[in-house]
Chains A and B, each alone.
Chain A
């Protein structure tokens, strides 16, 4: 509403010469469509060597975003929606489309992306995107995903999360899979658990399990550099989580008198600082709030494992929820949502773990899964999707659930995949 008004005002005031240059450049107004419905979107066929791949990737990314309905099929071709031609808006509207996306290959691996508002019968966005060559490499696919995320922003007002990856564990190693499930890459050697992304997406931390104990390792993804942090070589060092500053790592350090949370700096030689005082209990799996002030974690301090929240200095401890799902409560593996408003966790329901989300404002609980055993949720950067482990198809696999609609898709086809960690939005490599 505001943007539309601003554009109208701008249009009225700008000299005609300037206005004619690029009517929509830099202005995003989104589409007008009924709230609660998913607008229909048609992605026009894309010319060029990998045009079909571009169209397929953008279609799938928009579909996985769960905010629009992708319309595909013969009718679309009949509409004559080839890029860079004037669209047949009336026909598009009859096909149910609220928006049309055209991608026109340019020289030097660039693409002109145009988004049309079918109802308004005009282009609302037209800009160039750079694709990383060579196609169809992993980097190229990621650049197509970034393009699709921007298209989703133009149409819905919220950027997509296609240009992200999900780190996970299988066969003792850390892997990273693109959010659309297309490409998987090994990140660690050896025995590793509980990967966690640095907020800039440039590094992963995990717990390296050795014969004599475990340690927290951080890998810079660009250079491959490995660091051990925490300076607590012996004993148990598990479940790292980055604070929003990208410098502080909170993790669980186990000694003979119990396992507590500690905080260490990534750089510098400061000694690790103890966070929780569990008095002999086990405290693991921290997740730091997006404002960096609080931490949620699993603790057995009252007997059964429960999720607690405390300040990052360990004070002001409170139980996340006393809601009873099961005769014997067991709640674990919290993950704080990127908007700070909710925490996802696993809770035992009728003897099996299920993924649940609690809203912090009113402590309302929503259980999202019911099929099989479902564990270790991790939020996507949109605060709307969760990756989690499920054995619903037999072996452990990663799945993604849309918290709004409950729609679920399988991410890995790997048997034994678990402990998902969804990356932040990943920018172009520098």
Chain B
């Protein structure tokens, strides 16, 4: 019973963290506010400063658009939160091998960027409770780039990517000493070729276990 409670508590806390994170970015699913029809009448009314009925109609239209946008944003956030809670809950029933797979799953970056993308954030949120549940676990994060850009500058970019991923965990309470970072720039591509698909797979952060990787525990 208490175990269940604490598990739900953990899941909720994570959901809240995700919500906060999601709020800091504009949800892509939120529609643009419905345009206030600046019809000829409204225009004339505004210009002449008269016709309160037209003005009221415009006000209603704005209010409806805002309400629709808020509802869509709320729904999107609820879905993200629910998905996240479900995913973290699902971790608890995973085997050690499955947990390792989640922990070592590669995450991806945009071109010339070290910002943590939304899909990357979701992946990191799944790794976080595994790090939390296995205190002897130590990992190394590798930063990689695609083949564009200068060979030398790419090494610094890879370092920045690995550091951004590490910071995601340390900002959420994981001890600094448990995470090493290393950059390989463009030197160790995951996908051959110079097309967009290969590049997208090469702009990545990889995870490797340095210690404590045996018999991983799920969050409780």
Contacts and interface: CB of A to CB of B under 8 A. Distances in A.
Interface of A: 172, 191, 193-194, 209, 211-214, 234-236, 238-239, 252, 254-259, 282-285, 298, 300, 304-305, 330, 332-333, 346, 353, 375-376, 418-419
Q: Identify which of A234, A254, A257, A332 gathers the most chain B CB atoms within 10 Å of its CB.
A: A254
A252 B155 CA distance: 10
B140 A236 contact: no
Contacts of B150: 284-285, 298, 305, 330, 332-333, 346, 353, 375-376
Contacts of A235: 159, 181
A300 B163 contact: no
> Which label, helix, strand, loop or mixed, suits the secondary structure of the A interface?
strand
Contacts of A194: 152
B182 interface: yes
Interface in B121-171: 140, 149-153, 155-157, 159-160, 163, 166-167
B193 to A, nearest CB: 14
A418 B151 contact: yes
Given A193-B151, A254-B159, A298-B150, 10 more contacts: A194-B152, A212-B182, A235-B159, A236-B155, A236-B159, A258-B160, A283-B156, A284-B155, A285-B153, A376-B151
B211 to A, nearest CB: 13
B167 A256 contact: yes
A332 B166 CA distance: 27
Contacts of B180: 212, 234
Nearest to B112: A304
Contacts of A212: 140, 180, 182
A71 B93 CA distance: 82
Q: Which size class do B's interface residues fall under?
A: 20 to 34
B183 interface: yes
Given A332-B150, A375-B150, A236 B183 contact: yes
A235 B156 CA distance: 10
Nearest to B155: A238
Closest 4 CB pairs of A and B: A282-B156, A332-B150, A256-B163, A259-B156
B214 interface: no
Nearest to B176: A256
Nearest to B164: A256
Contact of A330 (B140, B149, B181, B184): B149
A288 to B, nearest CB: 16
A259 B182 contact: no
A193 to B, nearest CB: 7
B182 A211 contact: yes
A333 B182 CA distance: 22
B182 A305 contact: no
Contacts of A254: 155-156, 159-160, 183
B152 A333 contact: yes
Nearest to B159: A254
Contact of A256 (B112, B149, B155, B166): B166
23 contacts: A172-B187, A191-B187, A193-B152, A209-B187, A213-B182, A214-B183, A235-B181, A236-B155, A239-B152, A254-B156, A255-B163, A256-B166, A257-B163, A259-B159, A282-B159, A284-B155, A284-B156, A300-B153, A305-B153, A332-B149, A333-B150, A375-B150, A376-B151
A169 to B, nearest CB: 9
Contacts of A193: 151-152, 155, 187
Nearest to B182: A213
Nearest to B160: A282
Given A193-B187, A236-B159, A375 B151 contact: yes
B140 A282 contact: no
Nearest to A418: B151
A172 B187 CA distance: 8
Contacts of A213: 182
Contacts of A214: 155, 183
A332 B149 CA distance: 9
A418 B187 CA distance: 12
Nearest to B140: A212
Nearest to A303: B112
A305 B149 contact: yes
Q: Identify which of B112, B140, B156, B167 gathers the most chain A CB atoms within 10 Å of its CB.
A: B156
Contacts of A300: 153, 156
A234 B149 CA distance: 24
B187 A282 contact: no
A193 B153 CA distance: 12
A121 to B, nearest CB: 54
Contacts of A376: 150-152
B200 to A, nearest CB: 17
Q: Identify which of B159, B181, B182 gathers the most chain A CB atoms within 10 Å of its CB.
A: B159
Q: Identify which of A194, A211, A305 gathers the most chain B CB atoms within 10 Å of its CB.
A: A305
